[in-house]
Amino acid sequence: MLFPEFKEFGLPELLSVLAGLGFILILINYIITYLPLGSLKTTRIADSQKLEPVSVIICAKNEDENLTEFLPKVLTQDYPDFEVIVVNDCSWDNTENVIDEFAKIFPNLKKVSIKEDSYYKHGKKFAVLVGIKATKNNQLVFTDADCYPSSDQWLKEMAKGFAVNKEVVLGYGAYEKQKGFLNKLIRFDAFMIAVGYLSGAIKGKPYMGVGRNLAYTKELFYKQKGFSNHYHINSGDDDLFVNQAATAQNVNIAIDKNAITYSLAKKTFRDWRLQKARHLTTAPLYSPSSKTKIAFSYFSQYYFYLSLLAMVITLKTLIMLPMLLILKMIVQWLFLNKITKKLNEKDLLLGSVIYELILLFIYPIFHIAKLFNKPNKWTN
């Protein structure tokens, strides 16, 4: 026989059981992580209800080109009452002039400037805090200077997430589709991270969000004492705040295609590695339950592929290897199909298993890189 017969329990039978357990773990992970988002019907403010005034906050450090291209898309949102606060954080390029010129055209644009201090060095959290203090509205929506909304309905879709008792709204911050394999890999990575935190919020276990597309109330920010618990960490103005402030009752998500923001992905692997190293510095500060959830997701994937790798030892299990891999691919496609459509990432579905394998290989590199990454300034 070319397959294990289980008449006696030898090495082929042991490898088969281990691989079967790996597939079960993957299936459990898919049910926990993918299923909630795929079958979601969001709760939000009805179209007939009045929308509250909103303040959009953008922190900009040497972003004259990005602001020139993307800021008009924020300023021209189809929303009844909103202001845009752009924090010019010690820029030495033409950022201030760009903001001033747009302010002549758009009366709802407000500039706040932070001057360089040779004695006091600050990170992005200080710029965010300055922006929040400059707002006049309770509902705050955040995005980055290098981001642009998918449509003029973005602000409306995010604001509709502030339904009854909702104080945090998590959106999807995607990367723009461009040519090249690296672009798809970066986009898939951002997509899978979003699937994880959006599904977590749906299940009442929110653990992070991204500053490219995030909203919360000013009242909640002050009630949580802002960033005081993690101000010493350069990163984390988005995910660490959500990790401490979001609860099963006060969080909502906005995943309409009009609610997505896009930014440009890094062009080189080195730049992406440095960006990921900065982002990964915040994960150790997540709550224990958040870290357990993330750890299980990665463990199930590593375990499954390592169990398949072990099957090359004997001919009987070697033949089973492609069968299990194909079965895993089919199940993954079925679970991700609806989600890729909802988040406008349909082109990522076909190669999702390949992207996943590559990410599992290079993520240890990112974690090693973060040990040597000690940023003394904030970047997106």
Q: 217-256 pLDDT, tens per residue? A: 999 999 999 998 888 888 889 999 999 999 999 999 999 9
pLDDT attached to residue 357 = 95
At residue 71's C-alpha, the angle toward residues 66 and 72, to 5°, is: 130
pLDDT attached to residue 119 = 67
Residue 166 covered by a domain: yes
Residue 281 covered by a domain: no
Whether residues 226 and 345 fall in one domain: no
Q: Is the pLDDT of residue 315 over 80?
A: no
Domain-terminating residue out of 252, 275, 298: 275
Q: Which domain holds residue 311?
A: 14-37+290-372
Mean pLDDT over residues 55-68, rounded?
95
DSSP 111: E
Q: Band of the pLDDT at 200, cuts 50, 70, 90?
A: very high
Domain-terminating residue out of 242, 275, 308: 275
Burial track 269-292 (b if 16+ CB lie within 10 A, e otherwise): eeebbbbbbbbbbbbebbeeebee
Mean pLDDT over residues 13-34, rounded?
92
Whether residues 113 and 255 fall in one domain: yes
Better pLDDT: 2 or 154? 154
User: Sheet holding 147-149: strands in order across?
Assistant: 147-149, 261-263, 173-175
Whether residues 54 and 151 fall in one domain: yes
Note the pTM of the prediction, 2 decimals.
0.90
Question: What's the rounded Cα separation, in Å, for the pair 305 and 354?
Answer: 12
Residue 110 covered by a domain: yes
Residue 103: which CATH number? 3.90.550.10
Q: Is the pLDDT of residue 380 over 70?
A: no
Residue 263 main-chain phi, psi, to 5 deg: -135, 165
SS3 259: helix
CB 300 within 8 A of CB 34: no
Specify the pairing of strand 139-144 against strand 214-217.
antiparallel
At residue 118's C-alpha, the angle toward residues 115 and 124, to 5°, is: 55
Residue 379 covered by a domain: no
Of the candidates 310, 280, 324, 313, the one whose C-alpha atom is nearest the C-alpha of residue 298 is 280
Residue 356 covered by a domain: yes
Whether residues 260 and 325 fall in one domain: no
pLDDT attached to residue 245 = 94
Question: What's the rounded Cα separation, in Å, for the pair 260 and 174?
Answer: 7
Residue 380 covered by a domain: no
Whether residues 33 and 48 fall in one domain: no
pLDDT attached to residue 338 = 92
Of the candidates 234, 189, 161, 136, the one whose C-alpha atom is nearest the C-alpha of residue 360 is 189
Helices (H), the chain: 11-33, 35-38, 64-75, 95-105, 124-133, 154-159, 181-202, 218-223, 239-245, 269-280, 288-310, 315-318, 320-342, 352-372
Question: What's the rounded Cα separation, in Å, for the pair 35 and 319?
Answer: 31
Whether residues 260 and 359 fall in one domain: no
Total domains in the fold of the chain: 2
Whether residues 233 and 263 fall in one domain: yes
Whether residues 134 and 241 fall in one domain: yes
Whether residues 223 and 319 fall in one domain: no
Domain-terminating residue out of 275, 304, 335: 275
Mean pLDDT over residues 330-350, rounded?
95
pLDDT attached to residue 313 = 87
Mean pLDDT over residues 149-165, rounded?
94
At residue 263's C-alpha, the angle toward residues 260 and 267, to 5°, is: 145
Q: Band of the pLDDT at 45, cuts 50, 70, 90?
A: confident
Mean pLDDT over residues 270-279, rounded?
85
SS3 242: helix
Residue 8 covered by a domain: no
For 48, residues 6+ apart whose C-beta sits below 8 A from its C-beta are: none
Whether residues 103 and 228 fall in one domain: yes
SS3 141: strand
Q: Band of the pLDDT at 2, cuts 50, 70, 90?
A: low
The length of the chain in residues reads 380
Q: Is the pLDDT of residue 203 over 80?
A: yes
Residue 284 covered by a domain: no
Whether residues 164 and 148 fall in one domain: yes
Q: Is the pLDDT of residue 376 over 60?
A: no
Whether residues 27 and 176 fall in one domain: no
Q: Band of the pLDDT at 123, cuts 50, 70, 90?
A: confident
Better pLDDT: 365 or 99? 99
Better pLDDT: 380 or 82? 82
